[in-house]
Amino acid sequence: MHDVTSDPSGPLDALLGPPPPADDWALRRSLLARTQRALRWRRRWRRLGAASALAACLALGMLTVCWAPAPVEPLPLPARVERTPGPLEPQPLSAVALEWRAIDAPVQQAELYREAGDRYLGAESDPQGAVRCYTAALDEGKPEDLNISAEDSWLLMAIKEARQKEKNDAK
C-alpha cells in the first residue's frame, strides 16, 4: 500500500504554497500603480462631471436671459385734471362726537343719542356704544318712543321689546 502521509511533496504543493519572495514586491508595485491610476481617473471624471454640470447651468441661465420677452412699454398716464377748490363738503360726525353733542344739547338729546347709536352700530361696529346710546335715547325720550317702528335697527328693537316686557311684568 501506498502511504499518503509519508510523502509531503505533491503535485499541488507549488500552487498552494507562498509565492516566491522576488515576485512579491514587483506584483505589489504593479497592483499599487494600477490602483492609483484607476483612482486618479475616477477623481478626474468626477471633477469633469461637476464642472460640466456647472457649465450647463451657466449656459442655460444665459439662454433664459436671451430668450426672455422684451420689457413692455408702460402705458402713458392720463392727463391730470385740475380741481378747482370749492366749498368743502361737510364730513359726517363720528359716533363719539354725536354722543358728546347729545350730552350738551338738552333739546334734541333723544334724537342725537339715537343717531349716535345708529352710527356706533353701523359705521363703527361697536354694539356696546350703540347699547349705551340707545338706552340714553330711550331714557330721555317720550313714552311713545318705546313703540317699535320700521326705521329702528335690530338692536334698538330688541332694547324696546325688553323695556316693554319689563313694563308689562311690573304691572
97: left (phi over 0), alpha (psi -120 to 50) or beta: alpha
d(CA 131, CA 49): 77
**Assigned C-alpha cell, 5:** 502521509
Percent of the chain with pLDDT over 90: 19
Q: Place 7 in a pLDDT band, splitting at 50, 70 and 90.
A: low
* 3-state SS, residue 25: helix
pLDDT of residue 39: 96
Question: Helix 109-122 and helix 154-170: axis angle, to 10°?
Answer: 130
- The residues spanned by each domain of the chain are 20-66, 95-170
Per-residue model confidence as pLDDT tens digits over 135-159:
888 888 887 888 888 888 888 888 8
